[in-house]
Structure 1
Amino acid sequence: MDRRDLLRAVAALPLLRAALPDPAFAQTYPVRNITMIVPFPAGGQADLAARPVAMALERILGKPVIVDNRAGGGGGSVGNAAAARAEPDGYTLLMTLSSLAVLPEADRLFDRPVAYEVSQFMPIARVLADPTLLAVPASSPWKTAQEFVEDARRRRGQITYGSSGPYGTLHVAMEMFASSADIKLLHVPFRGAGPALTALLSGTVQAIAAAPGTLKPQVDDGKLRVLGNCGAQRIASFPDVPTFQELGYKDVEMYIWAGLFAQSSLPAPVATRLREAMAQVMMSPDVLKAFDTSGSLVAYQDAPAFSAFIAADSARLIAAVKKIGKVE
């Protein structure tokens, strides 16, 4: 979304607010600190999105917005569930990733109690939507994705990769690629993208699929090499990295989007206040600079467009999870 689209979105929001009941309720919000749950450790895409957004929201709303990294459960399920159970008053928000829709399906796949349902959440705004990138250590023997694939075919199940947890975004991306390339890799789950990246840098695992913002500082320092892009198009921060679709893996397409959510029963005036604030946040020079520096592109969507995007993206991801089947 360009600046003109953002300005149109901001201009339209007062009309929506006027149609909603009890505007005085929104005028009193917030009166205390707001907690923004991030269901992953520091260093991953959700955390990268949350921190500049929280700082900008704090300026706009006039109350502290505290980032709470609440990892656990694999793929972010513990933090997502905590946000789902919170009081729907606008004081507990969730900055999470596309795995939000995948994890309940994984619970059902294993006949486990479902930690939460997507229907418990109200989308407020999409912040980022980056393709996942396949990265390996700069010291590795693989200079191209094809070399990686050829080696993996020779040594089935021996090349290790890290993820943010079973059925998390990074896991699904790698299994989607492995299925398309007809290779078998060894999955090593961690509690988030940050720990998985640390494991890659230390040599504990040999590959990772992660967001551009997570990888770019390490690539710039000469520690990592990016071999492939799971998006439909090349990206400005890694213009020389081909997409997997370019390389012939036509069914590989995966994005790590980050978005802000509240509870589905949040009062409409508070939801509108948050949507208005997020429209301003996503035009903030500090936020735009933070994302640009990290190599991530702003991908703002207001609630209606974000809801439609989630529905389409979730259907594709759930189909991928069912294809992956049960994994430990």
Structure 2
Amino acid sequence: MMMGGETTHRTPNASQETYIKYETVKGYFLQDDDKTDSSKFNFKTSNFGLINRSYETDSSLDPTQAKTQWQRFANHVELLNTKSAGNVQYKVLFMGRHGQGWHNVAETKYGTPAWDCYWSKLDGADGIVWDDAALTDVGKKQAEEVCEFWRTHLPEQGGGIPPPESYYVSPLTRAIQTAEITFGKLGIATFKPVVKELLREAIGVHTCDRRRPASYIREMFPSYTLEADFAEMDPLWTEDYREPRSARKVRMTELLDDIFANDENTFISFTSHSGAIGSLLEALSHRKFGLETGGAIPVLVKAEIVNGERKQPTIEPSETAPSCTVNPTQTASLASL
């Protein structure tokens, strides 16, 4: 975290003989507790899942001034960084899933088997366009609800949640729209979002996961910065190779390495996708935790530079779309009845 213009911790920067080991520090959020049911959990009614507890660092606070749970947590994380060894740092990642997109509507309409084997490879059908899917009105409302949650929980409103100091966004339209609706109207001075290529959803086959040209993003979202070397045309998407989960975990680990080595801020926002967030959680050794559209999850992360070479997982074959066992156009006709 930046305090008075100076950083309060050192940023690990792994060499070729070392790597960054990521660990979820448990005991701070309900979401990292195995007893918490993700299908029933609502972060907006549970203070983002922050557990009501005391910290050994509470004694460093002025006893004459009451502090919220989030303010005491932020103080605790700051002191963790201050007292940590030079090869260790802590960050709090707020990971938000985009609101409902038109691809979500289409998958529900046709059913997942027909969607995976046929419809997902089209740009759209039946008056619906899901190529680099945009948000539906429902998706926009979901993002607005998250915006209101942030608004009422920021320090100015007495909630004490530290606003993110850095904002990273997937290059897919629905994620950028979600970030803009969620944070753009809050007047947060640090809201200077950066579009990161690696933060996107599983790559390939599904047209909803093929991004638009860089020039389109610049024109439609001029306040967003594209990371260095961001290509004009999508360099990753292919029509015949669907990125498997093991490869997605490697990609998300590469993203984490980039951010932890180059961003000295402590509270960081990711606006992304269900698959991408699932792989981020896996890379952070967090338990599986599903997010509904518009959902979000915070994680306290310990990053430590260790000697040796990171063990890479075996990459499974491409998750190529399965063959249809039924006529997908017939399935669509039945679904409309």
Q: Decide: shared fold, TM above 0.5.
A: no
Q: Which has the higher contact order (CA 8 A, sep 6+)?
A: 2
Whose Rg is larger? 2
- TM-score with structure 1 setting the length: 0.28
- TM-score with structure 2 setting the length: 0.27
Greater percentage in helix:
1
Greater percentage in strand:
1
